[in-house]
Amino acid sequence: MVEVTASNFSEYFSEIEEAIRQCDFIALDTEFTGLKIDDDANKPSLFDGGAERYAKLRETISKITICQLGISVFRRDQKQTSVYVAKTYNIPLFPRSFGPVDERFVCQASSLQFLCRYKFDFNKFIYEGLSFLNEDQERQVREHIASKAMFTGLERDLDEEALQRICSRVAEWLVSKDNVPVFTLQKSDMESFPLYVLSTELRGRFPTIWTTVDSNLKTIEVQRIDQGEREKRESEELTNQKQQEEQLVQRMLGFTRVFRVMKQCKKPLIGHNNLMDLMLVYDKFHLPLPASYTEFKSQLHAIFPWIYDTKHVIFRMRGAITEDTGLLQKTSLSEIYKELDSDKGRDLVIFPPAVMHAEGHTKYNGDSLPHEAGFDAFMCGFVFLRLAHIKTFKDVKSSEVIPCLFRRYLQSMEEYCNKVNIIRARINNISLDSVDYQSEKPELLFVRSRLMKKRLNIDQLAKWFSPYGNVDIRVFGKNRALAATNNFKCSRDILKAFRGHPTIYVAEYSIWRHSPLVRGILWSGAIVSGGLCILALVGSVKERKP
Amino acid sequence: MVEVTASNFSEYFSEIEEAIRQCDFIALDTEFTGLKIDDDANKPSLFDGGAERYAKLRETISKITICQLGISVFRRDQKQTSVYVAKTYNIPLFPRSFGPVDERFVCQASSLQFLCRYKFDFNKFIYEGLSFLNEDQERQVREHIASKAMFTGLERDLDEEALQRICSRVAEWLVSKDNVPVFTLQKSDMESFPLYVLSTELRGRFPTIWTTVDSNLKTIEVQRIDQGEREKRESEELTNQKQQEEQLVQRMLGFTRVFRVMKQCKKPLIGHNNLMDLMLVYDKFHLPLPASYTEFKSQLHAIFPWIYDTKHVIFRMRGAITEDTGLLQKTSLSEIYKELDSDKGRDLVIFPPAVMHAEGHTKYNGDSLPHEAGFDAFMCGFVFLRLAHIKTFKDVKSSEVIPCLFRRYLQSMEEYCNKVNIIRARINNISLDSVDYQSEKPELLFVRSRLMKKRLNIDQLAKWFSPYGNVDIRVFGKNRALAATNNFKCSRDILKAFRGHPTIYVAEYSIWRHSPLVRGILWSGAIVSGGLCILALVGSVKERKP
């Protein structure tokens, strides 16, 4: 691993760029400053489809920031066909302010405490974090530079009163009838303002002056000129400064420059439970997340045509493996990594590809640093490779397992491409390149009070159902409710337990689908779900990895 | 100075408490994570009265957090009457999350970069920051503990699937007809959950069980009991645990315990440009800021009956001093401190009180650390003492200057009591114990287009007026505007410069006050100021010290 910061980024950029251009795939992970910005409104629910979940996450993601990003760039070794070499970059990111771009981001106390558990260095984040801009912000920075108001708002300690005293003197000279052509501000006049700052301030305030900074004598000469001459001189100066300003923009762009290389190269992008990562990357480096879920999907797909989520892959692949070997029961990234890196994991299918850290990237050799973004990215790439090998050769005779190109791995993983895991929702994953799958979750449960006059108590229902698993409940009217569960066993257990219950009646929603009365209620319920319905979420919810 | 953190607070609390009880006055300063949360809506404006400014600051303050607080507690030495001893505490604060209390706070990139300039330690802030709660949050913590759902949401990595497997087994046993009275979870059953966490989770999910943790054997015994028995046992257990839980609440209260001692002792509270400090202290340690400005003032006054703002004091006192000596031209805290601590400053009035750091509080000896909250608090207390001495004895013959009690200083400073400075507003200060002063600012300027069909261009007006000083502009209708300036000279200069201007007419608003037509326009303008009016703010605005 190499740590890339604001101060060494210019040294590493071309290495990173080259690594991306030559690689087979990129694994990416982010750490961020908050998880749920709002306690209630944006809570994930088992009723959520893809669009609902996207809307909730978008609300959060627009307000938080990425504090650390890891990319691990994997390339098959050119000499040893079954060896992959990983170049891993761990990058603290910080949204540096400049002119009108002054990011406000939310920190959630528990999220920062979570980072503390993994020894996150907040000083490195804030002091040395690499800058980044999305396209909107880049436009603002460029406009700001063009407007020459460059230092307004930057120097927060600018002494407004002192500035006022200086401006008053210039104003007096400007309106005076004496016709003194040049007014010189001496060092002693400038009350500790940097020359360039003051010069810019003066030009901004007086449209018919020209200022010339003499940095040796530490003076500013102020001349009367007409607006035409002013514009001419500004345009000349602008041409000279273009290069310097472009350098400034490039410094502000920071990590966005890496993102743009990724966007150009369109290599497969791997993550673990990476919906939030993808949305963060889009929002912070590309453009603010669009309101439309389908627009997000199509735009993201245009940028990264091949996205893989190892959490989704595990869920789809593990059945037979778990039965045979007991492996892959847990789906947290570090558990999977540990298992696949163990002897038992290596033996799942013969001749798995070896993974080496590239020269100069050896900090992670023998080290385990879960929740450091670089290390998580590396683990994720490793896991993807091993799973791809298993998938490719699991039904092939041992004697026929031969080192193969990465392309072959990618072909065998095709069915998982652009499927991204989604937790505690009506669906198990979203499809980035097509309409989301229909639910693989159990039917909703329909609940009715047996005593027609008795109002259903949502807290009571929550208490009754929660021992059987995660259940979310919506109440309709006085005495009807729907319950969404996370798995079939939970639904079955609830149906069994409440058969013949004295006060509530519970059934699968499908039985009721054909009753016009109930259909009417549900339909109206669905429409007003933000308004009249009450949503109770039972149990604790975790969107974060695992 | 002593650095007080989460880990050493219990050692220092009684020292701090005693210092506060015995002191003459307390100086306080805060550092915080953001300054302007919204670029436009909450920008301070020269049109703002006290209530408008309060509303804007309240919006910001509710969203940011204090990251460092300094108190410097001054006491006159009991042996040497003209020596004061200062105990200074520099305290990183961090809003630790617990149960439902999980603070979200906004960081503004430029504010964090500002802190970087003074070498702020963000790791100390987040890793070692002392906890705090306002009364609302304390209530939530207490309710949460009482509800016994103590660990829900705390353990973010709680493996929901594993928990589900355990709960399913308990549910099966509970509904089984076998009548096995006790179900024992062995260590191997618990999948790495801490015993107490699991026990609490189980009780939360099953209302008719009792759990007994055997921490030696590392087992949990689960018993069927009825709800009455459950409640009885819970209440017994609760009594035993009360003390432990109270300790937990006290740990969460953290700095709020110091605030409560301050509230009780009602010592004079000194700050520099301290409106934001006062509002932050209220919001974070007392109660969320009320919507009503007058309620805030009366509540704050009840807590701290004697508040002084050294920035306000300087503005009121400096006239003759500046004329005579050239001192106190600048009003930033560190400049004033440096000047009053210089030989020239010491000589302003004979026999000024000496200030010493208390034993064990000597870190600031000979050191200058502006914008470290503890050091700013210390400087502020020092400045207050020196100004009080000047105020008390400036018109007294040298031979009659004698060491005096602090009470005498306080009496001579009475006219400044509960007046707090406010920048870029319609008024210069607010009164915490009475109705705010009427404006000491120049009349508003009335602007009209001379060409009745020509619309006034707000940007053009801003450009025209800004050379003369800070000006805020509101446009009414097509061709009328009001302009607010910061001082009389600026107003006069604008009036002079635009006399006979070809396209706009500018006059003092007072001339127009008696015209029913204009009064009508202004009145309707005032009403719709949030809607139809456009507010342009010219120049950069700084609410932060100085």
Angle at A181 between CA A179 and CA A183, to 5 degrees: 110
The answer, yes or no, to whether residue B238 has pLDDT greater than 60, is yes
pLDDT for res B148: 56
CA distances (Å), origin A437, targets A295, A332, A426: 17, 24, 10
pLDDT digits (tens, 9 = 90+) for B482-503: 888 888 888 899 999 899 888 8
Q: Compare B368 and B193 and report the one with higher pLDDT.
A: B368
Contact list, A103 vs chain B (CB under 8 Å)? 108-109
Structural domain boundaries in chain A: 2-132+255-431, 160-252, 445-537
Per the omega criterion (within 30 degrees of 0), is the bond before A546 cis?
A: yes
pLDDT for res B365: 77
The closest CB to that of A107, out of B107, B152, B207, belongs to B107
Residue of A nearest to B462 (CA): A205
Contact A160 B540 (CB under 8 A): yes
Kindly state whether A162 is in contact with chain B, defined as any CB-CB distance less than 8 angstroms: yes
Contact A167 B103 (CB under 8 A): no
Question: What value does the mean pLDDT of chain B take?
Answer: 86
Task: Classify the C-alpha dihedral B492-B494-B500-B504 as positive or negative.
Answer: negative
**d(CA A109, nearest CA chain B) in Å:** 5
Kindly state whether A125 is in contact with chain B, defined as any CB-CB distance less than 8 angstroms: yes
CB A26 within 8 A of CB A20: yes
Q: Which two tokens stand for residue B283?
A: 């919001």
pLDDT digits (tens, 9 = 90+) for B334-361: 999 999 999 999 989 999 999 999 998 8
Contact B153 A540 (CB under 8 A): yes
CB B73 within 8 A of CB B85: no
The closest CB to that of B123, out of A95, A123, A469, belongs to A123
The closest CB to that of B97, out of A96, A103, A110, belongs to A110
**d(CA B103, nearest CA chain A) in Å:** 5
Residue of B nearest to A60 (CA): B104
Q: H or E segment at B312?
A: helix B310-325
The closest CB to that of B105, out of A107, A171, A205, belongs to A107
pLDDT for res B387: 97
Contact list, B207 vs chain A (CB under 8 Å)? 463
pLDDT-derived band at B78, boundaries 50, 70, 90: confident
CB B457 within 8 A of CB B480: no
Residues β-bridged to residue A534: A475
User: Any idea what DSSP says for residue A67?
Assistant: E
pLDDT for res A157: 46
pLDDT for res B122: 98
CB B520 within 8 A of CB B512: no
d(CA B341, CA B361): 19
pLDDT for res A150: 43
User: Residues of A numbered 318-337 whose beta carbons fall under 8 angstroms of chain B's beta carbons: which are they?
Assistant: 330, 332
Kindly state whether B462 is in contact with chain A, defined as any CB-CB distance less than 8 angstroms: no
Contact B96 A114 (CB under 8 A): no
Per-residue pLDDT tens, chain A, 546 aa: give them: 999 999 999 999 999 999 999 999 999 999 999 998 876 677 888 888 999 999 999 999 999 999 999 999 999 998 888 899 999 999 999 999 988 899 999 999 999 999 998 999 999 999 999 999 999 999 999 888 777 544 443 333 456 777 888 888 888 888 887 778 889 988 777 776 777 778 888 888 888 899 988 877 788 999 999 889 999 988 888 777 777 788 889 999 999 999 999 999 999 999 999 999 999 999 999 999 999 999 999 999 999 999 999 999 999 999 989 999 999 998 899 999 999 999 999 989 999 999 999 998 878 877 788 899 999 999 999 999 999 999 999 999 988 888 899 999 999 999 999 999 998 888 899 999 999 977 677 788 888 888 877 788 887 888 888 888 888 888 777 788 888 888 888 889 999 989 988 889 998 876 555 454 454 444 433 322 222 233 333 333 333 454
Half-sphere exposure of A279 (CA within 13 A, CB side): 28
Q: What one-character-per-residue DSSP string does A302-340 give?
A: HH-S-EEEHHHHHHHHHHHHHHHH-TT-S--HHHHHHHH
Kindly state whether B153 is in contact with chain A, defined as any CB-CB distance less than 8 angstroms: yes
pLDDT digits (tens, 9 = 90+) for B364-389: 877 788 899 999 999 999 999 999 99
Kindly state whether A206 is in contact with chain B, defined as any CB-CB distance less than 8 angstroms: yes
CB B13 within 8 A of CB B257: yes
Contact B39 A466 (CB under 8 A): no
| B397-425: average pLDDT | 93
Residue of A nearest to B490 (CA): A168
| Domain covering B2-132+255-431, topology | Nucleotidyltransferase; domain 5 (3.30.420)
Say what the pTM is. 0.80
Contact list, B96 vs chain A (CB under 8 Å)? 109, 113
Q: H or E segment at B76?
A: strand B66-76
d(CA B396, CA B392): 8
Same fold? A2-132+255-431, A445-537: no
Contacts of residue B165, defined as CB under 8 A and 6 or more positions apart, other chains included, come to B191
By residue count, chain A amounts to 546
> Which of A102, A148, A311, A492 best probes binding to B when mutated, by most B CB atoms within 10 angstroms?
A102
Q: What are phi and psi of B187, to 5 degrees?
A: -55, -40
The closest CB to that of A467, out of B97, B167, B542, belongs to B167
Q: Judging by beta carbons within 10 Å of its beta carbon (0-12, 13-18, 19+), is residue A524 exposed, middle or buried?
A: middle
Contact list, B157 vs chain A (CB under 8 Å)? 542
Residues β-bridged to residue A485: A471
pLDDT for res A158: 56
User: Residues of B numbered 335-374 whose beta carbons fall under 8 angstroms of chain A's beta carbons: which are they?
Assistant: none
Per the omega criterion (within 30 degrees of 0), is the bond before B546 cis?
A: yes
Q: For A126-218, list the strands marked E by DSSP.
A: 182-185, 209-214
Kindly state whether A164 is in contact with chain B, defined as any CB-CB distance less than 8 angstroms: yes
The closest CB to that of B156, out of A94, A489, A544, belongs to A544
Contact A109 B96 (CB under 8 A): yes
Kindly state whether A463 is in contact with chain B, defined as any CB-CB distance less than 8 angstroms: yes
CB B379 within 8 A of CB B337: yes
Pick the closest to residue A473 from A533, A426, A542 (CA basis). Answer: A533
**A·B CB contacts under 8 A:** 156
The closest CB to that of B110, out of A102, A121, A122, belongs to A102
The closest CB to that of A104, out of B96, B108, B469, belongs to B108
What is the 3-class SS of A233-302, one letter each residue?
Answer: HHHHHHHHHHHHHHHHHHHHHEHHHHHHHHHHHCCCEEECCCHHHHHHHHHHHHCCCCCCHHHHHHHHHH
pLDDT for res B390: 96
User: Residues of B numbered 50-69 whose beta carbons fall under 8 angstroms of chain A's beta carbons: which are they?
Assistant: none
Contact list, B94 vs chain A (CB under 8 Å)? 109, 112
The closest CB to that of B109, out of A33, A97, A489, belongs to A97
Q: Among A270-279, A520-529, B403-412, B464-473, where is mean pLDDT lowest?
A: A520-529
Q: What one-character-per-residue DSSP string does B346-412 give?
A: HTTSSSPPEEEEPTT-GGGTT---TTSHHHHHHHHHHHHHHHHHHHHHTTS-GGG-----HHHHHHH
Which of A44-48, B49-53, B541-545 is the most confident on average?
B49-53
Kindly state whether A457 is in contact with chain B, defined as any CB-CB distance less than 8 angstroms: no
User: Residues of B numbered 75-114 whose beta carbons fall under 8 angstroms of chain A's beta carbons: which are they?
Assistant: 94-97, 100, 102-110, 112-114
Grouping H, G, I as helix, E, B as strand and the rest as coil, residue A508 is: strand
CA distances (Å), origin A510, targets A444, A448, A506, B26, B145: 8, 14, 12, 69, 41
Kindly state whether B173 is in contact with chain A, defined as any CB-CB distance less than 8 angstroms: no
Q: Which CATH entry fits the domain spanning B445-537: 3.40.1350, 3.30.70, 1.10.3470, 3.30.1360?
A: 3.30.70
Contact A110 B489 (CB under 8 A): no
| B90-103: average pLDDT | 93
pLDDT digits (tens, 9 = 90+) for B265-312: 999 999 999 999 999 999 999 999 999 999 999 999 999 999 999 999
Kindly state whether A41 is in contact with chain B, defined as any CB-CB distance less than 8 angstroms: no
Residue of B nearest to A541 (CA): B153
d(CA A140, CA A379): 37
CB B105 within 8 A of CB B126: no
